[in-house]
Copies of this chain bind each other. A is one copy, B any other.
């Protein structure tokens, strides 16, 4: 009870302090004006429709990515911002090649059986003749590493640990399974495997394979790697429980020479402290199988909408509000790395950065983080007015932000990740189904309104902590 009372007295003091600087009734009205603007006149869904349907798949280095850069730059140009520019960055240029093939070739149980697969991003191809080899199934990298090299050499390693469907937050399940895709193939190569098959990263059982990046080993332990649909992973696993089988895989994907691409940036210059930047962003590149509607067209158009909504509600920010559409989050982070390097070289200070890269679903809240020693102080300040945000049903929790902004943490500001509901994300993530039809316009706008509200409150009420 003592602890509870102590906590309560802290809350009271925060509350009293807060009332002296934040007029919550007034701020709630301003936030209502932002929501009204975005829900009534929001352009983000229309922009996303265009981005998806006309620019289409936009993997780094592709013509579609170049089209997406130009389209979003032009849209930012129409918003009456203080400046819009392209920031060059050199990106990897991986291409998928012909449609991938895979089949079980000699099962006594089921004969020849096609498997629905897609090459993993950055993977080398098998070449036109493909590879055919016996399959060994493992549930984890650790299990593989406990096997003798002789049991792996010359074989295809099949990683088949499912995402844990009992975790309510599907990102937690993803986090516990995705090492199979990211690190699994290189580890298999080190033990002499000739190819890798990875169970698709999804909570569902369906026929759609999910791509995604796999690690490239600078020492050359790289093998052709594919993701298999969860239904076909189940079939393959069932066969392997009863007999030894081989699988034939054919992929012609390859890494071409690097290409110059761009981060797309637009900003409203701060009226009082232009050197303090509040960034909102997402990543413009997307996997080539679908349209990158949720991942991460949504985050891009929401970030653009923040600037539009601030202008439309006649808000003159004290700090510089900068929208950054990062290139190459999916298979290299070249845009993020370039942006952070140049920002540091220029001595910029990002007071806050907000990334939306978890789909255009109904927002549930934000996670946030700052470097050790600062986080608590930022959180105390934000807690004094978070109830204004919570009026729109948004939580605040310590946690990660986003891959594109993470490097900015060292500047000493605070980073946020928009957290939409997670139930549907891995139905579409990195697949042919990540299309505009799967995005709900109101959900997308609610996310943009939440981001705009947070930018507004941060601009008005947060101070740099040292």
Contacts and interface: CB of A to CB of B under 8 A. Distances in A.
A35 B168 contact: yes
Contacts of A75: none
A70 to B, nearest CB: 28
Given A4-B12, A204-B441, A440-B423, A166 B36 contact: yes
Interface string A418-445: 0001011001000000000000111100
> How many copies of this chain does the complex contain?
2
6 contacts: A39-B165, A168-B393, A170-B442, A362-B362, A421-B421, A423-B442
Contact of A166 (B4, B40, B165, B204): B40
A424 B446 contact: no
Nearest to A424: B440
A231 interface: no
In this complex, the interface size class of chain A, counting residues with CB under 8 Å from chain B, is 20 to 34
Interface string A4-45: 100010001000000000000000000000011001100000
Given A35-B166, A364-B393, A421-B421, 9 more contacts: A1-B12, A8-B8, A168-B392, A168-B393, A204-B441, A204-B442, A362-B421, A423-B446, A424-B443
Contacts of A1: 12
A396 to B, nearest CB: 14
A20 to B, nearest CB: 15
Contacts of A168: 35, 392-393, 446
Interface in A338-374: 362, 364
Q: Which has the most chain B C-beta neighbours within 10 Å: A8, A362, A392, A440?
A: A362
